[in-house]
Amino acid sequence: DQQVKQNSPSLSVQEGRISILNCDYTNSMFDYFLWYKKYPAEGPTFLISISSIKDKNEDGRFTVFLNKSAKHLSLHIVPSQPGDSAVYFCAASPAQGNQGGKLIFGQGTELSVKP
C-alpha cells in the first residue's frame, strides 16, 4: 500500500517557466513533509520541508504548498533552470514517537528543464 504517491513519473518544462510537482498521501498521521532532489549516481539531497501547521513554505525559487484536507502537497519551482533537471522525491514523516523521523518516500518525478 503506497502511502505517498507521485502520480507523474516525468515532467518537461521550458527554462524560465514554472515547474509544479505534485504529491498525494493517504496517512493522516503524517505531519511533516519534505522534498528531496536526486541527480544520477548521487544520493538524494534535501530541498525544502513543511510542517503540517503551515500551508506554505518558501525558500528562494522553491515553494512547497500543503493542503491537509486534500492530503496533497506540491513543489513549485520558479523560474525553472536547466540545472533543476533531476528526480524529485516527496517524503512524509509520522508524528513524533517511535516512528518520529521515519521517512516514507513517493516514487519520484523526473523533471526535465529544456533550455
Partner 1 sequence: EAGVVQSPRYKIIEKKQPVAFWCNPISGHNTLYWYRQNLGQGPELLIRYENEEAVDDSQLPKDRFSAERLKGVDSTLKIQPAELGDSAVYLCASSFRQGRGEQYFGPGTRLTVT
The residues that touch partner 1, with contacts defined as CB under 8 A, are 4, 9, 32, 34, 36, 41-46, 49, 89, 91, 93, 96, 98-103, 105-108
Distance CA 69, CA 44 (A): 28
Only one residue has cell 515532467, namely: 11
Q: How far is the CB of 110 from partner 1 (least distance, A)?
A: 10
Q: How far is the CB of 79 from partner 1 (least distance, A)?
A: 25
Closest CB to partner 1 among 39 and 81? 39
Give me the DSSP letters along 5-30: E---SEEEEETTS-EEEEEEE--TTE
Contacts of 34 (CB under 8 A, 6+ apart): 46, 47, 48, 49, 50, 90, 91, 92, 93, 103
Q: How far is the CB of 15 from partner 1 (least distance, A)?
A: 26
Closest CB to partner 1 among 102 and 114? 102
Closest CB to partner 1 among 27 and 45? 45
Closest CB to partner 1 among 12 and 51? 51
